[in-house]
């Protein structure tokens, strides 16, 4: 990443303009043209420097649900279980941890009932019990990672 890439990432973490030409507006703020901004964003995504670029919606405010789930996965089966878990579009994040519960994933579903449905299906397909930990309360910390 060069200085322009870092400026793009840092700028877009704090907001995206809701204007007629948002990319052009961000590019002007950064001192580059819109096509350069779009090319750089595409490259950052293609090279997996950024894993996603898009809006964050509060699923619960529109009738959906979130839950953190943990699983004890035998080390020899970890890759296979990862493939199963990651095959669900509802899985927002999946992490390996150094813990007895060594796989943790976040579910984001359109309805609260789907949390249980997806988890039951994952249990059925993997033969492993999942530990569902639904969100009880949310705290906004305004996380911004400067690059």
- Burial (CB count within 10 angstroms: exposed 0-12, middle 13-18, buried 19+), residue 125: middle
- Sequence-distant (6+) residues with CB within 8 A of 30 are 4, 7, 8, 11, 37
Tokens of 115: 């949390």
Percent above pLDDT 90 for the chain:
74
How distant, in Å, are the alpha carbons of 10, 138, 145 from that of 13? 5, 20, 8
For residue 144, pLDDT beyond 80:
no
In tens, the pLDDT along 6-24 reads 999 999 998 899 999 999 9
Give the chain's domains with CATH numbers.
3-46 (no CATH), 59-134 (3.30.70.3460)
Share of the chain above pLDDT 70, in %: 99
pLDDT at 107: 93
CB crowding 16-35: b at 16 or more within 10 Å, else e: eeeeeeebbbbbeebebeee
Looking at residue 78, its pLDDT comes to: 97
Residue appearing with tokens 């089966």: 77
- Gyration radius of the chain's alpha carbons: 19
> What's the predicted TM-score (pTM) here?
0.64
């Amino acid at each position: 990443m060069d200085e322009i890439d870092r400026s793009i990432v840092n700028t877009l973490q704090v907001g995206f303009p809701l204007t007629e030409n948002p990319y052009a507006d961000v590019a002007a703020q950064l001192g580059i043209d819109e096509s350069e901004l779009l090319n750089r964003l595409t490259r950052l995504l293609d090279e997996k420097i950024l894993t996603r670029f898009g809006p964050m919606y509060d699923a619960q405010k529109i009738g959906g649900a979130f839950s953190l789930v943990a699983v004890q996965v035998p080390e020899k089966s970890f890759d296979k279980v990862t493939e199963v878990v990651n095959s669900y579009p509802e899985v927002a994040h999946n992490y390996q941890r150094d813990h007895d519960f060594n796989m943790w994933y976040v579910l984001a579903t359109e309805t609260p009932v789907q949390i249980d449905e997806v988890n039951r299906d994952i249990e059925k397909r993997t033969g492993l019990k999942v530990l569902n930990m639904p969100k009880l309360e949310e705290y906004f910390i305004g996380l911004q990672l400067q690059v």
